[in-house]
């Protein structure tokens, strides 16, 4: 079985993330959506909330699992017996950072590949940061994230931000 790991903060999961997950499932037998703890980023949602949103948004998509992770990605991929790390590339501006990370991961462990997938054009501009920003000003995010995520974002910002 060919296992791929799709790591990210997913704060929150967007339709662009879901697009990448769907594309990954066409190539790999099983995809692990690895949700990074990443307190340095100061996530809006807790790890538990992010995991719940990803589970709800990906229900029925195929053979995937949603798990938390922290530490070195290469260690996690090894533990999962992964053959690849999935990374989304929206624009040229993503490429330099993602290339550096892929090369570092290869230096640390040559036993898996980094696979770059481009989202559908309609999601090429979409980031969790942009979604949070639009939601914070009461903008319409219904076309950017799954319905349950939009509801959680709206509720979070109507309560005054982070809780």
Instruction: Indicate which residue of 2, 41, 81, 147 is catalytic.
Output: 41
Helix (H, G, I), strand (E, B) or coil at 97: helix
What gap in Å lies between CA 127 and CA 89, rounded to an integer? Answer: 11
- Whether 40 is catalytic is no
Could you tell me the strand order of the sheet in which 64-69 lies? 64-69, 30-36, 3-8, 84-88, 113-117
Q: Answer yes or no: 80 catalytic.
A: no
Catalytic residue from among 17, 23, 152, 156: 17
Q: Measured between alpha carbons, how far is 95 from 138 in angstroms, rounded to an integer?
A: 31
Which residue out of 23, 87, 128, 156 is catalytically annotated?
Answer: 128
Does 111 participate in catalysis according to the annotation?
Answer: no
Q: Which residues are part of the catalytic machinery?
A: 17, 41, 90, 128
């Amino acid at each position: 079985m060919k296992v791929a790991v799709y790591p990210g903060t997913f704060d929150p999961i967007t339709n662009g993330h879901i697009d990448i997950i769907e594309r990954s499932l066409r190539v790999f037998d099983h995809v692990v959506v690895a949700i990074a703890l990443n307190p340095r980023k100061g996530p809006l949602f807790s790890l538990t909330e992010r995991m719940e949103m990803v589970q709800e948004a990906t229900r029925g998509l195929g053979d995937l699992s949603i798990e938390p992770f922290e530490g070195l990605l290469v260690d996690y991929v090894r533990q999962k017996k992964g053959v690849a790390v999935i990374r989304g590339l929206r624009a040229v501006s993503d490429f330099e950072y993602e290339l550096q990370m892929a090369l570092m991961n290869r230096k640390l462990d040559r036993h898996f590949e980094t696979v770059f997938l481009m989202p559908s054009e309609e999601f090429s501009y979409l980031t969790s940061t942009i979604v949070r920003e639009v939601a914070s000003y009461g903008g319409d995010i219904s076309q950017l994230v799954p319905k349950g995520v939009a509801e959680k974002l709206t509720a979070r910002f109507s309560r005054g931000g982070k809780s």
